[in-house]
Amino acid sequence: MRVTWDIFCTVVDNFGDIGVTWRLARQLVAEHQCAVRLWVDDLRAFERLCPAIQVDAARQWQQGVEVCRWQGEWQPTASADVVIAAFACQLPDAYLEAMAAREQAPLWLNLDYLSAEDWVVGCHGLPSLKHKNVQKYFFFPGFQAGTGGLLREGGLLLQREAFQADAAARSVFLASLGVVPAPDARLVSLFAYENTGLASWLDAMATGGTPTHLLVPEGRVLADVLRWLDLEQMTPGMVQVRGALTLQVLPFVPQDDYDRLLWSCDFNAVRGEDSFVRAQWAARPMLWHIYRQEDDIHLDKLEAFLHLYTAGLSPDARLALQGLWRAWNVGGEMAGHWREAERHWQEWFEHAERWCLEQASRPDLAAALVQFYRNWL
């Protein structure tokens, strides 16, 4: 009998939460033959990642996953064998009772946010609160042994390597988005939150010695781009040139196409959690805009990741990369940091490939979840 899984997702950051849970649900079905229900409270945000989603359907099947709308009055529903509350979302009271009513209690997991902080290793897999006879456990994705690892589908890196080695395939894909890269230009993607440091970074690229073609998917940072351009709007496909910088707006694309966009670029600026991980699998230099939290506790998470990520770099390259990331995440002046980072471009490129392979040497998140369930039985 197939193991049944219920994954609950409250959409908080538009695309990060649903992005992670949608990838996980698909992988559990495709690679581990699990029966998965994905409960989502905002199907319109989900539609941006999966255009086939029917936003008004209470239940539907998408790529082997049963997608259920989690809104309004909860209807009686039997509990699954494994229950995942993604990112500490609160399960419906009636569902908690259904879990407790099972003859065999389900495995209940809180799939937490990704962090490189040291304490994650010590907390991963520990019991949390209980509801009657049902015990909940912490499950932490992570970058180190002793954590749940990162989402990575089987064969992903081979697909990426083949794509990056095939110039014709990249050209065809980019053309499908209306992109014809500027001659001899460095191709850069920009997916970020609003950032006061963007203008200085755009200034640096526009006046720099390396031609840059900047691809900006529709999203929150576009308003800052328009302000720098002194334009009221740009629609997908529109191109603007300022000095050495060519800017182009892209439509918001489904997840698989976003992966290919990251693979196509020489440098990727990403945000949140889902695109952050996918940029690492792209094995290219990157810049992370971490989700801001109260009291700036997100900066502790940033520093923890930088400590791990930059460990293999030369001292000068490490300082340059750290300076760039720190400036970006406080909305600071970017121009000097960008120019300094460019001096170490080849080392950063090679380091990104090594980091990707190092992370891929560990079990992926879906496999780790399945193994945790088997060990728990």
- Structural contact between residues 7 and 38, judged by C-beta atoms closer than 8 angstroms: yes
d(CA 348, CA 112): 29
Residue 83's pLDDT is what? Answer: 98
d(CA 337, CA 323): 6
DSSP 122-164: HHTT-EEEEETTEEEEEE---SSTTS------TTHHHHHHHHH
Q: Which two tokens stand for residue 335?
A: 């121009």
Residue 14's pLDDT is what? Answer: 60
d(CA 117, CA 52): 37
Nearest to 201 by CA among 328, 342, 329: 328
Q: How many residues does the chain have?
A: 377
pLDDT per residue rounded down to tens, the chain (377 residues):
799 999 999 987 667 789 999 999 999 999 999 999 999 998 998 998 899 999 999 999 999 999 999 987 898 999 999 999 999 899 999 999 999 999 999 999 999 999 999 999 999 999 998 999 999 999 999 999 999 999 999 999 999 999 999 999 999 999 999 999 988 999 999 999 999 999 999 999 999 999 999 999 998 999 999 999 999 999 999 999 999 999 999 998 999 999 999 999 999 999 989 999 999 999 999 999 998 878 788 899 999 999 999 999 999 999 999 999 999 999 999 999 999 999 999 999 999 999 999 999 999 999 999 999 999 99
Residue 184's pLDDT is what? Answer: 94
Q: What is the model's pTM?
A: 0.96
Residue 272's pLDDT is what? Answer: 87
Ramachandran area for residue 84 (φ above 0: left; ψ -120 to 50: alpha; else beta):
beta
d(CA 44, CA 67): 13
Residue 13's pLDDT is what? Answer: 63
Residue 208's pLDDT is what? Answer: 96
Environment class of 258 (CB within 10 Å of its CB; exposed 0-12, middle 13-18, buried 19+) = buried
- The catalytic residues are 17, 273
Residue 295's pLDDT is what? Answer: 77
299 sits in which H/E element: helix 298-309
